[in-house]
A and B are shown apart, each in its own frame.
Chain A
Amino acid sequence: MSAIAMRNQEAAPADIKMRAAGVDVSYGDKQALFAVNVAIETNTVTALIGPSGCGKSTFLRCLNRMNDVIEGCRVSGQITLDGVDVHDRAIDVVELRARVGMVFQKPNPFPKSVYENVAYGPRIHGLANSRAELDDIVHSSLRRAGLIDEVRDRLDEPGTGLSGGQQQRLCIARAIAVEPEVILMDEPCSALDPIATAKVEELIDDLRERYTIVIVTHSMQQAARVSQRTAFFHLGEVVEQGETGQIFTKPVDERTQAYITGRIG
């Protein structure tokens, strides 16, 4: 009880998991984000929408410092996870990425078996003490990703042999196997057909109970279906953010209005 209270005090206000304040990002000479402020609530799906090239993915990649691996990319401003700056010297980027997992636009399973794909994260973080524990983690992750019934007999087959939708759910299973607190999804359904998309969306809704989710999407219907909060990006700035219902029915800014009705983008 007291531990939870302590934690709530740390992350004041209580329901904000991550917060970006005045974030600027530039690639070389080109500035991609301008003074972005976004609040991401705990156990909520936050959708980032906006036209191509508006900086949604760039912002998403700031949240677990994936931009570090891109040469010439500079990030400034404050991004906090549970109130602690992710750029703080005390924060280990490797540990940060274990807490803030990521699912990419194109399914990118490793060229290993289905089992090894999911076991990869737990192995490098030493989450299992025995083969039985590892088996448990792999099975429960696949189950939570809604994939276990399809791959139970194919755990030793290469992950790249699955269909596109299965591959993407495998990538989600791989991400949740390390027990992250936040899962970042960069257009996770853009390479999938409508049926696979529906399955992934259903899965996202289930995952919300345990994880905080940030999803970049080009599909306004998808944002409306899966998210509770939405932030609209335009030309590297956050134009508007708030409850998804409010953004889609009563947008305050006329640019948001123009985008969701299909006039810009």
Chain B
Amino acid sequence: MSHLLIILAILSLAAIGFRMGRGRALALAGGDARALHSLPNHYGGYVLLNCALPGLAVIAIWLAVEPHAIRWLVLSALPGDFRVLPTERLGLAYDDLRNLAHGVAVNHAADAVLSAAASHYLALRRIAVVGLVIVSLAVAGTGLWRGWRRVAPNFAARRAVERYIRVALIAASTVAVFTTIGIVLSLVFETLRFFGKVTLWDFLFGLEWSPQTALRADQVGSSGSFGAVPIFAGTLLISAIAMAVAVPAGLFSAIYLSEYASRRVRDVIKPVLEILAGIPTVVYGFFAALTVAPLIRDTGGSFGLDVSSESALAAGLVMGIMIIPFISSLSDDVITAVPQSLREASYGLGATQSETIRQVVLPAALPGIISSILLAVSRAIGETMIVVMAAGLAANLTANPFQAVTTVTVQIATLLVGDQEFDSAKTLAAFALGLVLFVMTLGLNLMALVTVRKYREKYD
């Protein structure tokens, strides 16, 4: 709460800076804005940015450092016998004294040492808030003053503001890049720990997946085998079924929408298709588990087929329906982007509409269509909720769509749900699976990107 107030204070200071900068520029120009190098608002904006950015940066750094600094100060003030505790016990003790300080019940009687440390902690927190107020406002004020002093009729405030905007945009675009790097690094480190316990060969080429490991020495039948082939096979089976549904349906609806539908029909159908993309996957999940799977089991049963109630077919069909809008919407865009002049050239030679579409429009749009399909595949491979609910957990190595299979995402979810030790092969396996999955989808996305790049200048 107090931090929010500090931020508001800095923003108000920046707003005042805006008025001051603007006013000074106009005053120096004798009230004639034409005598200035830039617009009065640029001078105001320059002072505002000079004030707000350093102030907010101080707050951000302070908040990142503060908890660690307080923890170090509190722990180093504790009596000597605490310092010999192992790291985990020390962490627990620190959590206890923080709970005490915030008035949360602690599960054992508070001793004098902990109480003293708790009040030490609270005192440090108070000092930290006051310090933050002083430092951040001082920095913001200095920035305001320096910016204000630089305001002069021939100062290029417009260009200075432009530089700040550039930096802000670069910062925003690096967020995604650094997040990706962080995700990859965390996956890689946990995966390396996993391969300390299970060999790479056994993981990539093993035919049996049963990740239950023995917790006690006398447990039986849970040796733990981590052969990922069955679950990757399951993923590919379900994705293949999904694509068999989504590619024709998506592509044909894209062709209909972009080439045949009148504008009125298009205006109705396109949003409806996009609603399909907005349905939460959980909802698709129970549609698959409660409606489609029993339907397939009963229909299959009436033909004398042995269909399990959690079949790959049910999960794949529903996943395919979920993916239709991805393909149709992207393909629709690329088909519409094919120049009208190519269609007219074909019509002008006496081609019919379907001849034109098959022989001119689709070949021209093909790179875009392929990339939309590849993106849809990576979406299918990464999809979790539908398969968790409808595909089952049994790691069967089968190509029979009527049997239950399991997928990589389902296994990751079940391995990590609930209370788990984070140093057993079982939980670490989830990271190895995640990394392989990440590499697969990354490869597909790259392929999509390369296809589009390579054929982009084909027409036009």
Q: Please report A residues at the B interface, Cβ cutoff 8 Å.
A: 64, 66, 69, 71, 94-99, 101-102, 104, 106, 108-112, 120-121, 124-125, 158, 160, 171, 174-175, 178
Contact = CB atoms under 8 A, between A and B. Distances in A.
A178 B350 CA distance: 9
Interface in B167-217: none
Nearest to B356: A124
A98 B352 CA distance: 11
Given A104-B345, A112-B363, A124 B351 contact: yes
10 closest A-B pairs by CB: A98-B350, A102-B348, A108-B341, A97-B350, A121-B349, A111-B458, A111-B459, A108-B345, A94-B350, A111-B364
Nearest to A107: B341
Interface string B333-352: 00000010111111111111
A121 B350 contact: yes
B263 A101 contact: no
Contacts of A121: 349-351
Interface of B: 262-263, 339, 341-352, 355, 359-360, 363-364, 458-459
Contact of A66 (B263, B342, B347): B347
Contacts of B351: 94, 120-121, 124
A108 B359 CA distance: 15
B348 A120 contact: no
Q: Which of A95, A97, A98 has the most CB of B within 10 A?
A: A97
Contacts, number: 73
Contacts of A106: 341
Contacts of A120: 346, 349, 351, 359-360
Contacts of B364: 110-111
Given A69-B344, A111-B363, A121-B349, 19 more contacts: A64-B348, A71-B262, A94-B351, A94-B352, A96-B350, A97-B347, A98-B349, A104-B345, A108-B339, A108-B342, A108-B344, A108-B345, A110-B345, A111-B459, A120-B351, A124-B350, A124-B355, A158-B458, A178-B350
7 contacts: A108-B344, A110-B345, A110-B346, A124-B350, A158-B458, A175-B348, A175-B349
Nearest to A122: B349
A158 B360 CA distance: 14
A104 B347 contact: no
A97 B262 CA distance: 23
Contact of A171 (B262, B339, B345, B360): B345
Nearest to B353: A69
B348 A97 contact: yes
Contacts of B459: 111, 160
Nearest to A96: B350
B349 A101 contact: yes
Q: Which of B345, B352, B459 has the most CB of A within 10 A?
A: B345
Contact of A101 (B341, B348, B360): B348
Contacts of B359: 120, 124
Contacts of B355: 124
Interface majority SS on B: helix, strand, loop or mixed? helix
Nearest to B348: A102
A175 B351 CA distance: 12
Contacts of A124: 349-351, 355, 359
A71 B267 CA distance: 15
Contacts of B339: 108
A97 B351 CA distance: 8
B349 A104 contact: no
Contacts of B348: 64, 66, 97, 101-102, 104, 175
A211 B173 CA distance: 60
B344 to A, nearest CB: 6
Contacts of B342: 108, 110-111
Contacts of A94: 350-352
Nearest to B340: A69
A71 B352 contact: no
A178 B351 CA distance: 11
Given A111-B363, A111-B458, A124-B355, A174 B349 contact: yes
Contacts of A97: 347-350
A115 B347 CA distance: 19
Contacts of B262: 71
Q: Which of A69, A102, A108, A112 has the most CB of B within 10 A?
A: A108
Contacts of B345: 102, 104, 108-110, 171, 174
B341 A125 contact: no
Nearest to B263: A71
A24 B339 CA distance: 28
A112 B352 CA distance: 19
A218 B344 CA distance: 21
Nearest to B455: A111
A172 to B, nearest CB: 12
B327 to A, nearest CB: 22
A142 B416 CA distance: 68
Q: Which of A95, A106, A110, A112 has the most CB of B within 10 A?
A: A110
A58 to B, nearest CB: 14
Q: Which of B263, B348, B359 has the most CB of A within 10 A?
A: B348
A102 B364 CA distance: 21
A175 B347 CA distance: 11
A95 B352 CA distance: 10
A117 to B, nearest CB: 9
Contacts of A71: 262-263
Contact of B458 (A64, A104, A160, A175): A160
A125 B350 contact: yes
Q: Which of A64, A99, A111 has the most CB of B within 10 A?
A: A111
Contacts of B344: 66, 69, 102, 104, 108
A97 B355 CA distance: 14
A66 B348 CA distance: 7
A146 B260 CA distance: 38
A174 to B, nearest CB: 7
Nearest to A108: B341
A128 to B, nearest CB: 15
Contacts of A160: 458-459
B409 to A, nearest CB: 39
Nearest to B460: A160
A174 B363 CA distance: 18
Contacts of A158: 458
A69 B345 CA distance: 12
A119 to B, nearest CB: 11
B350 A95 contact: yes
